[in-house]
Structure 1
Amino acid sequence: MKKILLLTSMMLGCSINYLFAQLENKHFISGTVGVNFTNSNPDVSKATNNYGYNFDIAIGKFKTNTKAVGWQINSFLGAGKTNYSILSNNVVTDIKKNGINDIGIGAGRFWQYYKHFNDKAGLFAGPQVNLSYSNSRKYELGSDNTYLSETKTNIIQLSAGLSAGVYYHFSEKWWMTASLAFSNPVSVGYSFSSTSGSPANSTDLSYKSNQLNYSLSPNFTFPSVGFGLRYFCTRQ
């Protein structure tokens, strides 16, 4: 009986090792997408809502059965509708602002290291570097709610980070992936901002600013759940 169990374990181990040995030199395409929507409808003011998406696509190759490298492209967009109440000469005027508030795109390089638990599932983690550009627009009520200012900001940023996730292998060509945690401990960026507004009984508010930003923050965001799919191309 012990010999049968030992033989079965050896055969199972060999089959798993053989399966994942097939990963070496395989190319893959991965994609993740997220959609969010929030709505606020308080009793004392008009409703506001925000919505957006983020989309990532990656192209990679397994160098060995436990190491993959590749390139990724990511993008995001945020939009919404917000109502502001301006007080001028004791008269309240409602101003509605809607449209795109945030948009960005980036590209980078990743390295992933895998721990296969069995022939179906495992963990992966590794570093990544990313260069990104983002554009945002923000509205703020000025002194005593008498005017509304608008700030537009453009940011170019280079960051280095770590990420971790799990996978489930449900067919020869397809994996399902899920992110677990991420961290961007090092980043440096340059921002260009311009602000405009019209305060009451004053000249128009208008100014520009440029700023160099950097961050060193070795903190992990956990959990950070996001789901995606991975398709394996023909082995080369």
Structure 2
Amino acid sequence: MYARPTVVNNVESIASVPAIVANGAEWYQGMGTEKSKGTTLYSLSGHVNNPGQFEAPLGITLREILDLAGGVRTGHKLKFWTPGGSSTPLFTDEHLDVPLDYEGVSAAGSMLGTKALQIFDETTCVVRAVLRWTEFYKHESCGKCTPCREGTWWLVQILRDLENGVGTEADLAKLLDLCDNIMGRSFCALGDGATSPITSSIQYFRGEYLAHLTNGGCPFDPVKSTLFSGANA
């Protein structure tokens, strides 16, 4: 970097070194799975009783991590979650027992990514959540490449119409077509990441998208899903 020798290290990797030096490589490799060895940090946030950072062996399941975190917030049930942050395809309650290692998550159709486990219960509108994420990616796009610059703009417009109940069922096909034209065609991974929550949410929650159209708007009360007291819609 800047014409000088440069070392780039991950803080999590550096933090693992003292324990490995003290206990040996075999000790560390004895944790995790055959192909994903050792431990890692899982960042649990959202609708859980005790959010936080959890160090655990690779291959642990969300069900087990939720047990450590006191479960989904009291009185509610899991609806959907991200295994690796908002740029990875969504999972649902059907994926509670997927091994959270690189191979297991990939085989189930997503990516482990940053291991940011964002948890959403049944009070959350998946369309609203996906729209908020897409607005973020549109804002963060540098604008250099056309697929990302133009694609994220159009994704936001269509998602807003759908959330407000003024879109059409054909808009779902438009979203998927836009995502197909962005995926693998942008200069960096931001464009790809913007498509993941959209395609996966349509796969698992198509009926919820359509409910916005038949209802003429969002059928969810956003206040019920907030984690902050005194919030307004």
TM range (shorter): under 0.3
TM-score by length of 1: 0.19
TM-score by length of 2: 0.19
Question: As a proportion of its length, which structure holds more helix?
Answer: 2
Question: As a proportion of its length, which structure holds more strand?
Answer: 1
